[in-house]
Amino acid sequence: MIKTTALPVWSDIDTVLLDMDGTLLDLHFDNYFWQTHLPQRYADIHGLELTEAAAKLELQVKQHEGKLQWYCLEFWSQALDVNIRLLKEEIMHKIALRPHVKEFLNALRSAGKRVVLITNAHPQSLDLKLQVTQLDHWLDVVISSHEFKTPKEEQEFWRQLQQRETFDPARTLFIDDTLRILDSARDYGIQHVLAIHQPDSQKARTVEGYPAIHHFDEILPIKE
């Protein structure tokens, strides 16, 4: 078992790998889209009752959870016969940074850490969120797992990431809100991992089994 600590010791870290949805961005946008907006619009488009549409969507989505298709807008657009990207644009005003994100990213850059966004978000979704938030201005690299054709849940993702970035797992911090992905990172050998207690600002959650924070001000300032 890889040893994990509650708070980063910044002198031990060179590279910071960051998830996007639920970590840097409020997961409320995604939850609202998949659980509320899409069922309603799917019902409208296909002439269904809302309860029937919601049941059909839930069944299909659960079949692919944690797989690359689960995150693929092109896959869902074809499977559901709707334009997922356009439907997301209808509620793009809900895309929002989580508290203290800009402060945290500025501190990382000022401290000379390499800051890499690694996300399972499909490139179409990623582009929309970068357009709204301008997150890429604070990042050294932005990588979607779709580039590697495997999600962060799989060890192959981490092997390809290390070939691309040549990071040292022993001197890398990874922050994500999804526990199965933290499991995958830990299994690969990432020494420093950190979870997010409440990725969706509208839903309470407490993480057990991993060190976790509510907001990034808890791990500021970044001191060597």
Distance separating the N- and C-terminal Cα atoms of the chain? 26
12 is catalytic: yes
Residue 12 burial class via C-beta count within 10 angstroms: exposed 0-12, middle 13-18, buried 19 and up = middle
How many C-beta atoms lie closer than 10 Å to residue 9's C-beta?
Answer: 11
Max CA pair span of the chain: 59
On whether the CB atoms of residues 177 and 27 are closer than 8 A, the answer is yes
Given the residues 12, 14, 127, 183, select the one marked as catalytic: 12
The H or E element containing residue 119 is strand 114-119
Copy the structure tokens of residue 88: 């997301």
> Active-site residues: which are they?
12
